[in-house]
């Protein structure tokens, strides 16, 4: 038995012990499929955060936490007689072999782009078979789950629609659409209709997501990095004000903007190779 298989068996044994009605963990015993979902989502984001920060030691732990979620679901399913971890592993093994005929079969797919096309084509056939089994017409949007973050889901919906030809021809058309949506937001601000304003803001965000897609920018990651940049700069702003003996909450907008601009200028200076830095 390999080390990986041995450690997986150990993890399965630990999970079974945690869920044992005789001496198991009370918290683990109280959980069900629905109650674990928020933890699974949180763990996925913590994996993404470790990757974004380049922290490999943290990534080891976060991947372990994420894997524990899968084992937790499998244990609950085994207890209820639905399936086991073996079934989960068989499912993904079979799917990967089926979706990579150029690796495990005789198909000839030479490039990553060609593989992407083949992969999406195969998934489309799978969705069509599912639709037929359910007695309904297939849609290009089938399989884009509603539980995704809204920004990620918008990107996926747009990509699916684009595959069947429903798309802007180039990024310039999308920027024009953004300007149109922004004008409609301004009109609703003046109009004072909260429901319509909510709708127009949504349309604006959807259009910006479309622009990111046309420029080959992954919007969820771009916004995550923008969040990180804002947090880094704002914390530096707070530190700068406190160094001057000022409580940020009492500084006022003018002083906060001056500190913000100073933080940005310092970042730009530090990013320029060969720039002079005061000791």
Q: Is the pLDDT of residue 71 over 70?
A: yes
In the chain, the percentage of residues whose pLDDT exceeds 70 is 97
| pLDDT tens-digit map of 104-123 | 888 777 787 777 777 777 77
Distance between CA atoms of residues 89 and 82, nearest Å: 14
pLDDT at 125: 80
How far apart are the C-alpha atoms of 133 and 127, rounded to whole Å? 10
Whole-number pLDDT of residue 63: 97
Does the structure show a pLDDT above 80 at 199? yes
Give the pLDDT score at 278: 38
Using a cut of 0.85, tell me whether the model's pTM lies above it: no
What pLDDT score was predicted for residue 135? Answer: 86
**Integer Cα distance of 225 and 236 in angstroms:** 16
Pick the more confident residue, 122 or 79: 79
The overall average pLDDT reported for the chain is 90
Percent of the residues in the chain that have a pLDDT greater than 90, as a whole number: 69
Tokens of 4: 């990986």
Q: Which helix (H) or strand (E) holds 113?
A: helix 112-133
Tell me: pLDDT of 230 over 50.
Answer: yes
Spatial separation of the C-alpha atoms in residues 16 and 243, rounded to whole Å: 53
Q: Which position has the higher pLDDT, 117 or 38?
A: 38
Question: What would you measure as the largest C-alpha separation in the chain, in angstroms?
Answer: 72
For residue 28 the two structure tokens come to 């683990």
Ordered by where they begin, the domains of the chain are 3-98 (1.10.287.1080), 164-215 (1.10.287.1080), 221-271 (no CATH)
Q: Which helix (H) or strand (E) holds 186?
A: helix 171-191
For 26, the token pair is 């009370």
pLDDT of residue 277: 41
Task: Look at residue 279 and tell me whether its pLDDT is greater than 60.
Answer: no
Residue carrying the six token digits 């601009």: 261
Burial class (CB in 10 A: 0-12, 13-18, 19+), 86: exposed
Q: What is the mean pLDDT of residues 193-203?
A: 94
H helix or E strand, kind and range, residue 89 = helix 85-98
Report, as an integer, the average pLDDT of 23-37: 95
pLDDT higher for 216 or 145?
Answer: 216
Query: Would you state the pLDDT for residue 166?
Result: 92
Quote the tokens at residue 38.
Answer: 């928020």
Under DSSP, the state recorded for 49 is: H
Give how far Cα 7 sits from Cα of 12, 18, 67, 159, 273, Å: 9, 16, 12, 39, 47
Q: Could you give the 3-state DSSP secondary structure of residue 134?
A: coil
What whole-number distance in Å separates Cα of residue 145 and Cα of residue 125? 17
Flag whether pLDDT at 83 surpasses 90. yes
């Amino acid at each position: 038995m390999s080390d990986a298989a041995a450690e997986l068996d150990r993890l399965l044994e630990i999970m079974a012990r945690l869920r044992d009605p005789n001496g198991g963990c009370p918290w683990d015993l109280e959980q069900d499929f629905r109650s674990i979902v928020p933890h699974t989502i949180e763990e996925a984001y913590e994996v993404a955060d470790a990757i974004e920060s380049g922290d490999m030691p943290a990534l080891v732990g976060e991947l372990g936490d994420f894997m524990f979620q899968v084992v937790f679901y499998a244990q609950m399913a085994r207890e209820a007689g639905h399936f086991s971890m073996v079934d989960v592993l068989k499912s993904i093994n079979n799917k990967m072999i089926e979706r990579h005929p150029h690796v495990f079969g005789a198909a000839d797919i030479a490039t990553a782009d060609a593989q992407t096309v083949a992969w999406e084509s195969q998934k489309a056939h799978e969705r069509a078979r599912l639709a037929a089994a359910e007695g309904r017409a297939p849609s290009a949007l089938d399989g884009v789950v509603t539980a995704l973050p809204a920004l990620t889901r918008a990107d996926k919906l747009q990509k699916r629609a684009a595959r069947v030809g429903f798309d802007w021809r180039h990024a310039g058309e999308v920027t024009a659409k953004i300007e149109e949506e922004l004008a409609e937001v301004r009109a609703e601000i003046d109009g004072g209709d909260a429901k319509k304003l909510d709708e127009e803001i949504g349309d604006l965000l959807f259009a910006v997501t479309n622009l990111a897609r046309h420029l080959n920018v992954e919007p969820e990651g771009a916004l995550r990095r923008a969040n990180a940049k804002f947090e880094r700069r704002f914390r530096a702003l707070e530190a700068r004000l406190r160094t001057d003996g000022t409580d940020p909450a009492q500084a006022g907008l003018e002083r906060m903007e001056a500190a913000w601009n100073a933080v940005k200028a310092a970042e730009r200076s530090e990013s320029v190779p060969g720039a002079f830095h005061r000791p």
